[in-house]
Amino acid sequence: MNPEEVRELVRRAAELKASLGSPEHPQPLRGKSVALIFDKPSTRTRVSFEVGVTQLGGKALFMTSRDSQLGRDEPLKDTARVMSRYVDAMVVRTFGQSVVEDLAQWGSVPVINALTDLYHPCQVLSDLLTVSEHLGRLEGIAYAWLGDGNNMAHSWLEAAAALKLNLRLACPPNFMPDAGIVAHARERGAEITLTHDPREAIAGAQVINTDVWASMGQEAEAGARLQAFAGYTLDAQLMSLADPKAIVLHCLPAHRGEEISEEVMEGPQSVVWDQAENRLHMQKAIMEALLAPQVS
């Protein structure tokens, strides 16, 4: 995405949030259907998209591989072409990035990446909305990422590339983000710092972000990851190194006592509940931009 598209989504999501419950809240999806195709279970992603489609006047259809031909090895290109004749958009939460890309290649309707193992773009766009709400700006801020160089870290790198942000990532040696994604962000003007020291990343930062150490599908690695991530817990001691007015983000679910302490999670600098709510408003802005761009 280009900088103007990112800023417009943040602006529009804030506008939709402000108009919620009022007669002025738009319903640009009236008469439209959106398929939610989930290989991975969820709470926030599913509910925010289902409620978002409803609030915009549309109809959401939830599907998993267990109750569709996707679970019986139907080629993705066949699914994409058939679904494109039934629905107006597909929201996909899956494992491989290639699933989203294949559906987009062979389908003729918008395909929204609700999460893959490589990227989590809707979450980071929602996070940017949260930062804008609490700090009043997106640029001129030091962003710190602590933990795994995972799909969230990759999407933050993409956001940093789009907006030329100052992003510091502290990850254990064997859990660094993809080198190609880092290089791409730097080429586009992002100020990227890679370190193995959480203290270096968090020092003076205004936005502190972390995530679970073992994501869905990595449960067998949980024990080894607990050892590898020792010292990366976002606790009061680490937070004391950040800007005094820093905000704390976590995309949830959180494992208190592992990647984040109870004290920080429930503390005054935590904005994770606003962040979670903003998934709803950002999903609506994304769907509106794709399905009814003339409205925004």
Query: Which residue do the tokens 């907006």 mark?
Result: 163
* Binding annotation for L-ornithine: 151, 211, 215-216
Quick one: pLDDT at residue 135? 98
Query: Which residue do the tokens 């999407």 mark?
Result: 155
Tell me the average pLDDT across 64-70.
76
Question: Is position 211 annotated as part of the catalytic site?
Answer: yes
**What is the tens place of the pLDDT at every residue in 169-225?**
999 999 999 999 999 999 999 999 999 999 999 999 999 999 999 876 677 787 889
Dist CA 6 CA 288 (whole Å): 14
Choosing from 12, 46, 88, 123, the catalytic residue is 123
Quick one: pLDDT at residue 256? 97
296 pLDDT exceeds 50? Answer: no
Hey, what amino acid is at 213?
A: W
Burial class (CB in 10 A: 0-12, 13-18, 19+), 245: exposed
* Binding annotation for carbamoyl phosphate: 42-45, 69, 93, 120-123, 251-252, 279
At residue 219, the 3 state secondary structure works out as: helix
Question: Is position 120 annotated as part of the catalytic site?
Answer: yes
**What is the tens place of the pLDDT at every residue in 119-164?**
999 999 999 999 999 999 999 999 999 999 999 999 999 999 999 9
Tell me the average pLDDT across 43-48.
97
Quick one: pLDDT at residue 289? 97
Question: Is position 137 annotated as part of the catalytic site?
Answer: no
94 pLDDT exceeds 80? Answer: yes
Question: Is position 12 annotated as part of the catalytic site?
Answer: no
Q: For the chain, what is the mean pLDDT? A: 95
Could you tell me if residue 134 is left (phi over 0), alpha (psi between -120 and 50 degrees) or otherwise beta? Answer: alpha
Choosing from 250, 251, 275, 283, the catalytic residue is 251
pTM, full prediction = 0.95
Q: Which of 161, 144, 138 is nearest to 7 (CA)?
A: 138
Question: Is position 123 annotated as part of the catalytic site?
Answer: yes
Choosing from 88, 211, 250, 283, the catalytic residue is 211
Quick one: pLDDT at residue 204? 98
Dist CA 224 CA 7 (whole Å): 39
* Residues whose CB is less than 8 angstroms from the CB of residue 228 and which lie 6 or more positions away in sequence, other chains included: 172, 174, 175, 213
String of DSSP letters for 5-43: HHHHHHHHHHHHHHHTTSTT---TTTT-EEEEEESS--S
